């Protein structure tokens, strides 16, 4: 059940980001939901590897490189999801908006430990 809630939160965050950012586009609601599932898989499997490999840059930039890693994960999701379109700056700002909306929604829904 937690996976479905997290996917719904991510899909909601994608919807908000797509409406606020011109460089992020989903052709339909179904594509948006599928992209949320793919984004969850990308964040679970690939993001830890990229974050570990980019750790020196993250330390040098005092954590700001994490924003670039998040944008890359959103860009990778766009590559894997047919119909989803994203520019680099759309991915950058979209990743920030998705993070904020997901964080707020997770606070409302509750933490995983609950």
The C-alpha torsion from 6 through 64 and 49 to 21, rounded to 10°, is 50
- Residue 41 tokens read as 């898989």
pTM summary value = 0.85
How large is the average pLDDT for residues 81-86? 92
Q: Is the pLDDT of residue 113 over 60?
A: no
Q: Is the pLDDT of residue 111 over 80?
A: no
Q: How many angstroms from the chain centroid is the CA of residue 21? A: 14
pLDDT of residue 112: 57
List pLDDT tens digits, range 2-52: 888 888 999 999 999 999 999 999 999 999 999 999 999 999 999 999 999
Residues 6+ apart with CB under 8 A from 72: 50, 91
Contact indicator for 23, 93 with CB cutoff of 8 Å: yes
Query: Using CA atoms, how far apart are residues 106 and 25, in angstroms rounded to an integer?
Result: 24
- Residue 64 tokens read as 């700001």
């Amino acid at each position: 059940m937690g996976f479905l809630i997290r996917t719904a939160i991510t899909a909601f965050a994608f919807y908000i980001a797509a409406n606020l950012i011109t460089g992020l586009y989903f052709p339909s609601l179904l594509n948006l939901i599928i992209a949320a599932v793919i984004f969850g898989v990308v964040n679970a499997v690939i993001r830890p590897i990229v974050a570990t490999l980019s750790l020196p840059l993250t330390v040098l930039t005092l954590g700001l490189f994490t924003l670039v890693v998040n944008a890359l994960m959103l860009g990778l999701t766009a590559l894997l999801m047919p119909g989803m379109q994203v520019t680099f700056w759309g991915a950058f700002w979209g990743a920030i908006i998705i993070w904020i909306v997901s964080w707020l929604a997770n606070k409302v829904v509750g933490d995983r430990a609950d």
